Chains A and B, each alone.
Chain A
Amino acid sequence: MKTDTTAIDIDRGKGDFFYPEAHVRDAGVGLSERTIHYIADVKDDPDWVREFRLRGLKTFLEKPLPTHWASKELEAIDFDKIRYYLAPGTEPKRSWEEVPDDIKRTFERLGIPEQERKFLAGVEAQFDSEAVYSNIKKAVGEQGVIFVGSREGLKNYPEIFRKWFGKVIPVADNKFSALNSAVFSGGSFIYVPPGVKVKHPLQAYFRINAESFGQFERTLIIADEGSEVTYMEGCTAPKFNTPTLHSAVVELVALKGAKIQYITVQNWASNVFNLVTKRGLAQENAEVKWIDCNIGSRLTMKYPSVIMKGRKARGEVLSIALANDGQHQDTGAKMIHAADETTSNIISKSISIGKGRATYRGLVHVPKHLKHCKNNTECDALLINATSRTDTYPAITVRGTGNAVQHEASVSQVSAEQIFYMQQRGLTEAQAMSLSVNGFVNDLVRQFPMEYSVELKRLIELEMEGSVG
C-alpha cells in the first residue's frame, strides 16, 4: 500500500508545474483555476470558500455574455487582459503629478479634503480616516455592531456570515455575479444586532482598509430583527482608477422589522465597465431601500433589486443617472413580490447630455395568490442635447385580482421658456440649464443625506458645464 502511494507521488511530481512568480503576491493576468487557487491561497480561504470560488469560475465560463438584451459594448471587455487580484502593496504606484488635471480640478471644485484627494486619485493606497471617524466607530462597536472587511467577516464570524453569504444572490445568478464569486476580495461585512438602530450612516471608507474600493468587492449586510442601518458606498468625487472592469456583488438581508438603506454614488473614470449585482431580501415588515446615483463609468449595468419575502415587506429604489458623452448608464430596478401586502416603489430619473445614453430597465413581478401588493414605478428622462439618447424597458408581470401596479414614464427636455425666463433674470444659459437639471432631480436628492445632496448638486453643475451651445 505504502509503495503504491510513493509511485503515484512520483508520477504526479512529473506533471506538476511550478511558477517562480507564484511567490510574488500577484495572480497575474487572465482567469483560470490557477488564479482562483492563487487567490484562495493568499487569502487563506477555508475550503468551502475555495469551492465557492471554483463554482463561480465554472459558471462564469459557461454563461454567455447577455448581449441578446444588453449593450453590445460588453464585447469590448477582454477578460484575458484583466488582473483579477492585486494584493495590498502591489498596486501600481502613481504620483500626484500623474493624476490628470481635470480630476484634480474636480476635487477642488467639490471641496474634497486634501487627504481624501490623494487616496481617491490612487496616489495613496491607504486612507487614514481613523482620526475623523473613530468616535463613530467606537459608538457603533459598543452597540455590538460588527463592521469589518468581508474576509475578516468570513474568518471571525463564520456562523452568521456563512448562513447568508451567496444566498440572496446565488453564484449562477448572472455571468458577472459568477465572476465576482470566483475572484471576490474586499468589501464589507456588517451585522446589526436585534433592535439596534445605528444613528450614523456607516461609510465604506470608515475602514482604513483600501480593499473596500476593490474591483471585485463583495458586501454582505445583515440587519437583525427590528434594527436599522444606513450604509454609504463610494463618494461623489471621481475615482481615478486603472482597472477597466468593476464587478461587485452586494447582498442585504433585512430580518423581521429591520430597515436597511444603502446609498451608492458611483463616479468611476470614464473607461470603467461597472457591472454590479445588488439585491436585498426583506422579511416580514422589513424595509430595503436603495439610493443609487450613477455619474461615472463608460458602461454601468446595475439593477438593484428587492425580494419582499415576508408580509408587509417594503422595497424601494431611488435612482439618478447622468450620462455624458461616451457614457451609457444602463440602470434600473427589480421588485420581486413574494408575500401578501408587500409594497414597492421605484423612482428613476435620468439625464442624458451630449452623446450620452441613459437606459432604464425594470422588472416588477407579482405572482399569483398574493393579496394587496402594490407597486409604483415612475421613470423620468431628461434630454439635454439633440444627440442624447434615452431608453426605457420595463417588464411587469401581475397575477390575480388583489394587486395594483402602475408604471409611468416620460421623456422631456428643458423647456425653452424656462431657460429664457432665467436668462432674463440675469443667469447665463449654462447656469439656467444646470438650475433646471437640479430642479428635475431635486425631489429625489432631498431624500439623500445632507453632504451627499450638496456634493451631488455641485457635481451636476460640473457635468452641465460646456453642454450648452
Chain B
Amino acid sequence: MSSVVDHEVAEPAPILSGPSDTREFPDWFRDQQRAAWQQFEALPSPTRKDQAWRFANVGLLDLAPYKIRGVLSEDDRKNVLKYSRGLNHHAGRMIFANDQLIERDVVSADLKKRGVIFQPLERAIVEHADLFRKYFMSTEATLGSAKFAALHQALVSSGTFLFVPRRVEIELPIEIFHWLRHDNMSVFPHLLLVADELAKVTVIEHFRSCDQRAAGFACGVNDLIAGPGAKVTYVCAQNWADNVIALQINSTTVDHDASAMSLNLHLGGKYSRFESLSRLIGEGGRSDLLAVAVAKNQQEFDARTLQDHISPRTASDLLYKNALDDRARTIFGGLIRVEPHAHFADAYQKVRNLLLSDDAEANSMPGLEILADNVRCTHGATSGQIEEDQLFYLRSRGIPTKVAQRLLVTGFLDEVIQRLDHPAIGEHLHGLIGQKFVKLTSSSSR
C-alpha cells in the first residue's frame, strides 16, 4: 500500500477551459494533450442526424456546467475508501475519486517479480514510457465519439496501466474504483490493459457517485489488448448517480488464438453511452461482448458496438439485454463487419429488450456488413414483455406479483451474467441489480 502524494491541485475549473499545466507530465504527453484539445475543439458536436447518434438524446451533451480538478477533503478520502467495497478477494486494487488516486493495493511480490506492472497512469508514463506510449489511445474511436475521445485524451490526469507479461496468469480479479465527488464534477477514467502472449487476467471496474443527487460528467476510455493466445476478461459495473452523463469508449484488440470477454453492467446515469469496438486481428481470435442494462425513470442507455472481423477464422458473440421501466429509453446500434478476406468468420449478435411499462422505448439497430464469403453471421433483435403465463404460474405458487416480476426480470438478465462464468463477480453484479430493483419497485409503487 502506498500513500499518495498530494499534488498541488488547483481550484476547480470549467471543463471547457481545457488542459492545465499544473500537473507534472512529460513533454510528449503534454504535447499530445494540447493536440487532442485542438482536435476536440475542431470536431463538430454530434447531432441526431449522424447515423452513429441516431435516436440519441444529444441535447444532454452540453458540457458547459461541468468542472474539472475537483478538490477532495480528508473526510472525502476516508469515506471513499470506506465505501469502496466490491469483491471479497482481489489481486490488486486502485481507487480513484475525481481522477485522483486515493489508494493502491499493489499486486503480490511474486507477480511483481514476474514482471506484472500495475501502476497509475502518471507513474507509468514516466517509468514505462515506451511500453505505455506504444498502446496509449492507439485505437481510433470510430463509433461516433471521436470528439469525446479527444476530450478524454486532453483532460485525462490519472488512470490505470496494467501489463501482464508472457505466460503470467493472474487468478484473482484486479479491481478499480472510480468515484465522482461534488456536484457538476467530471472525471476521465482511463484503463490501458496489455496482456502479452498467453497471459491471463480479469479486471473489474466500478463506477460510482458519492452523492446520489449530484450531477456529473464521466468520459472514460478503455483499451484492452489481448496478445497471442491471451485471455482477457473485463467487467464494468456502472452505477453512477441518476443525474450523471456518462460516455465510455471501449476498444478491444484480439490477436491470434486470444480470447476477450467483456461484460458491461449499466445501472446509473441520466444518459449513459457505451461504445464497444472489438477488433479481431489474428486467426483463431474470439471476442464475447456482453451487456446488461436496467433502465428506469427517464434514463437513457445508448450502446454502440462493432465486431470487426479483420482476420480469417475469427469468432465473435454479442449478447445485450435491456430491462426497461417507466419512461426509460435504450438504444442499441451494433454492427458485425467481416472485412474482405476474413473468410470463415463466425459472428453472432443478439439484443433483447424487456419492456416493463407502456412508456418505455427500445430502439434496436443490429447491422451486418459482410465483405467476405464462407462466413456464418447471424443477428437477432427482439422486444417484448413478461409473459402472462409465466407470471400466472409464479402467482399460482403464492408469489406476489411484484416479486414474481422481479424474479422473471432477474432470470431474463441472468443468462448474460452466467456467460461470464465467474461466480464471485456474478454474485456482486446480481447484488447491484437487486439494489436497483428495490429502488425500482419502491418508485413504481407510488
Contacts and interface: CB of A to CB of B under 8 A. Distances in A.
Contacts of B357: 400-401
Contact of B370 (A369, A381, A393): A381
Q: Indicate the size class of the contact surface on chain A.
A: 35 or more
Contact of B359 (A400, A407, A409): A400
Interface stretch (A15-23, A104-112, A384-392): A384-392
Contacts of B368: 381, 390-392, 409, 411
A405 B382 contact: yes
B261 interface: no
A348 to B, nearest CB: 12
A368 B359 contact: yes
A401 B380 contact: no
B364 interface: yes
B373 A397 contact: no
Given A398-B362, A406-B381, A392 B367 contact: yes
Nearest to A405: B383
B364 A407 contact: yes
Nearest to B380: A408
A438 B359 CA distance: 44
B353 interface: yes
Interface stretch (B29-37, B47-55, B263-271): B47-55
Given A383-B375, A391-B368, A395-B363, A400 B358 contact: yes
B154 to A, nearest CB: 27
Interface residues of B, number: 41
B373 A413 contact: yes
Interface in A400-418: 400-413
Given A68-B50, A404-B384, A412 B362 contact: no
Contact of B380 (A385, A386, A406, A412): A406
B51 A411 contact: no
A393 B358 CA distance: 26
Interface string B347-367: 000000101111111111111
Given A405-B383, A405-B384, A392 B366 contact: yes
Contacts of B363: 395-398
B58 interface: no
Nearest to A388: B373
Interface string B153-165: 0000000000000
A399 B360 contact: yes
Contacts of A402: 358, 385
B20 interface: no
Query: Which of B50, B357, B363, B367 gathers most chain A CB within 10 Å?
Result: B367
B309 to A, nearest CB: 12
Contact of B376 (A368, A391, A393, A411): A411
A369 to B, nearest CB: 6
B373 A401 contact: no
Nearest to A412: B376
Given A386-B343, A389-B370, A398 B355 contact: yes
A69 B54 CA distance: 11
A368 B383 contact: no
A193 interface: no
A403 B383 contact: yes
B382 A395 contact: no
A413 B353 contact: no
A390 B375 CA distance: 11
Contacts of B377: 410-411
B371 interface: yes
Contacts of B380: 406-409
Contacts of B365: 393-396
Contacts of A368: 358-359, 361
B53 to A, nearest CB: 11
B372 interface: yes
Q: Which of B355, B372, B374 has most A Cβ within 10 Å?
A: B355
Contacts of A413: 373-375
Contact of A399 (B51, B361, B370, B372): B361
A412 B373 CA distance: 8
A407 B382 contact: yes
Contacts of B382: 404-407
A19 to B, nearest CB: 41
A413 B377 CA distance: 10
B370 A396 contact: no
Contacts of B383: 366, 396, 398, 403-406
Contacts of A392: 366-368, 379
B370 A394 contact: no
A400 B353 CA distance: 11
Interface in B231-258: none
A409 B379 contact: yes
A404 B372 CA distance: 33
A408 B375 CA distance: 16
Nearest to B366: A394
Nearest to B376: A412
Contacts of A408: 378-381
Contacts of B367: 391-394
B415 interface: no
A400 B50 CA distance: 26
Contacts of A387: 340
A406 B353 CA distance: 10
A405 B383 CA distance: 5
Interface string A432-468: 0000000000000000000000000000000000000
A395 B355 contact: no
Nearest to B383: A398
Interface string A323-358: 000000000000000000000000000000000000
B375 A391 contact: no
A376 to B, nearest CB: 10
A395 B356 contact: no
Contacts of A384: 373
B427 interface: no
B261 to A, nearest CB: 24
B140 interface: no
A403 B383 CA distance: 8
Contacts of B373: 383-386, 388, 413
Contacts of B384: 403-406
B363 to A, nearest CB: 5
Contacts of A405: 381-384
A398 B353 contact: yes
Contacts of B355: 398-401, 403
Contacts of A383: 370, 372-373, 375
A390 B54 contact: no
A335 to B, nearest CB: 13
A188 B340 CA distance: 44
B219 to A, nearest CB: 25
10 contacts: A386-B372, A388-B373, A393-B367, A403-B385, A405-B381, A406-B384, A407-B379, A409-B366, A409-B380, A410-B377
Please provide the 9 A-B residue pairs with the shortest distance between their CB atoms, ordered closest to farther: A398-B383, A392-B368, A401-B385, A411-B377, A400-B358, A383-B373, A407-B381, A396-B364, A399-B361
